[in-house]
Amino acid sequence: MEILELYAGIGGCAVAAAGRLPVIAAIDQDEAAHHTYVHNLDHPAHRWNLVGVRPERLAALGASLWWMSPPCQPFTVRGRGRDVDDARCQSFLTVIDRIEALWPDAIALENVPGFAGSRAHARLRAVLRLGGYQVDEGLRCPSELGVPNRRRRFYLVAHRHAEVRLPPIPDPAVPRRPLSGYLDPEPEGTLYLSDAFLQRYRGALSVVDARDRLAICECFTSAYGRSPVHAGSYLRDDVGVRRFSISETLALLGFPATFRLPNDLSEGKARKLVGNSLSVPVVARILDTIRDMAGPRVAP
């Protein structure tokens, strides 16, 4: 089973797939995401716009599992929830059409919880039904896997020739890792918040304590560092209250310490790319489950 990583971003799915399943190609139109991907990963990465992508181009890649994390703004309140009427949903409608044209063996999708019940969701489900796929879907969060970070997301897995299920989570067998294990030993001084900022947003900030072994931080979104509230937690340590560094947010997403963002990326762009990515341990579990359950093909 070989993966085509659609909407690859910085390659969260490829990082999760390492040692599990081969990734044969990745597609994303964004220059900085592409740059970051090729900086860290060896798989062929194409800077293509998926809107109207020709079926032959996807067929030529020869993947049997299409992983996709389409843009989530059409399904969020902040993005106005315009669903299929949002221009940012157009590429996903193309991808649904390409599923109908090419019928890859397996599909996996990650998106915000608001995707569930959307018109885009209904359209995808209708095509999967037409193609005879068996489907499982639901919400999963890395905090249910012992990671001290919330990132509740909707996942869908589908297979044409086998029954696949999302992995059962929470998993009581996974030990909880305290937040302290994800923190930089020497955080940059520029991360600390001024007294004026703390006064202004007092009561509205989510602040977790570095010494709290049970602390769980909120989901870090692409607006973290730009939007003062509802974009992720702040950290209280021995020095003061600060933002989490980019390397700490990457670690909380499950990226290895060897993963590097290109030096020429602005902080804002880097935060955006990282906030758009996904939880590597959750996706790794899902890939394991698809690989183990799909097994040999049982019917043409």
Ligand X SMILES: C[S@@+](CC[C@H](N)C(=O)[O-])C[C@H]1O[C@@H](n2cnc3c(N)ncnc32)[C@H](O)[C@@H]1O
Residues that bind ligand X (CB under 6 A): 7-12, 27-30, 33, 49-51, 69, 71-72, 91, 276-278
Half-sphere exposure of 100 (CA within 13 A, CB side): 13
Burial class of residue 167 in the structure, from the number of CB atoms within 10 Å of its CB (0-12 exposed, 13-18 middle, 19+ buried) = buried
Cα–Cα distance between 31 and 45 in angstroms, integer?
A: 11
Tokens of residue 254, six digits: 């499950």
Nearer to ligand X, 7 or 234 (CB): 7
Radius of gyration of the chain (CA): 19
26 neighbors 5 (Cβ within 8 angstroms): yes
Q: Which is nearer to ligand X, 32 or 127 (CB)?
A: 32
CB of 47 vs ligand X, minimal distance in Å:
8
- 72 catalytic per annotation: yes
Instruction: Provide the minimum distance between the beta carbon of 50 and ligand X in the complex, in angstroms, as a whole number.
Output: 4
Shortest reach from residue 219's CB to ligand X, in Å = 13
Name the active-site residue from 72, 89, 217, 219.
Answer: 72
Q: How many CA atoms lie within 13 A of 60 on its CB side?
A: 7
CB of 193 to ligand X, least distance (A): 27
> Is the peptide bond preceding residue 22 cis, with omega within 30 degrees of 0?
no
First to last CA, the chain: 15
Torsion of CA 1, 251, 153, 201, to 10 degrees: -160
Token digits for 167?
């992995």
Residue 91: CB minimum distance to ligand X, A: 3
Indicate the SS3 state at residue 118: coil
For 169, the token pair is 């989570």
Q: Which is nearer to ligand X, 64 or 279 (CB)?
A: 279
Is the distance from CB of 222 to CB of 228 less than 8 angstroms?
Answer: no
Q: What is the maximum span of the chain, computed from C-alpha positions, in angstroms?
A: 65
Residue 51 or 116 having the CB closest to ligand X: 51
Among residues 3 and 72, whose Cβ is nearest to ligand X?
A: 72
Task: Give 32 or 164: the residue with its C-beta nearer to ligand X.
Answer: 32
Q: Give DSSP secondary structure letters for 143-167.
A: GGGT-SB---EEEEEEESSS---PP
Min. distance of Cβ 7 from ligand X in angstroms? Answer: 3
- Just list the catalytic residues: 72
